[in-house]
A = this chain, B = another copy of it.
Amino acid sequence: MHFTSEQRLDGDVLEREFTLGEIPGVLWTPGSVSAPVPLILLGHPGGLGKMHPRLAARALGTVAEGYAAATIELPGAGDRPRLATVDEARADLQRAVRAGEPVTEDVIQRLVLPLVDQAVPEWQATVDALLALPEIDGPVGIAGGVTAIGVRLALVEPRIAAALLFAGSYVPRSTFDEARRLTIPLHVLLQWDDEGNDRQQALDLFDAFGSKEKTLHANMGGHTGVPQFESEPGNRFFARHLK
């Protein structure tokens, strides 16, 4: 891991861009720390540059609660080499949505599974590198991002102790199977009126999770409309399980 830039943000937060091999990422840590802090991985839909303002805002909140926050670019997104098969699947999906046709399991698998297969080991390598820093310590949490990536990562990476996930749609069947095998505590957000989201599938996914502690918080509004007042229960969820 190489740090490529460094700046101080409001509230005494240190933001550092890094590369891990070919993968760009961002790390946010408290500007001054006495003891190592737990790590929360900030998920996103891809496109670090475009997402930076929202990610930085989430990171400031996360660091203020006493964690380090980090994220990496998704495979095929931002400045990373395109993934032709995923781009094709995305075009197929957009065509289906525009035509008002159902999005088939085949399209979802072609869109999501290559991302999951490539992203999860990358996130694990990122966790390796970050936990090697003296200012960061386990356990590790996941907050948001592509649902299928979060589920796989939570399942295969034992250092993940808690996950805050969005009950997204476009979830392949295999993710439901993995969800059933999850046992870590989960805090799940659902936007009840999300046009791009199949509500019933999201509820089915919540039902499928094998975890004994799982909570669903549903609110009105679309994809980006999670109300401000949901940040507090999310903070408390992580405080219960990462501290």
Contact = CB atoms under 8 A, between A and B. Distances in A.
Interface stretch (A78-86, A133-141, A145-153, A228-236): A228-236
A181 B88 CA distance: 45
A161 to B, nearest CB: 16
Contacts of A207: 192
B240 A236 contact: no
A229 B240 contact: yes
A232 B236 CA distance: 9
Contacts of A220: 212-215
A92 B220 CA distance: 37
15 contacts: A190-B216, A192-B216, A203-B203, A206-B218, A213-B220, A214-B219, A214-B220, A215-B218, A215-B220, A216-B216, A217-B217, A229-B236, A229-B237, A229-B240, A233-B233
A216 B217 contact: yes
A240 to B, nearest CB: 7
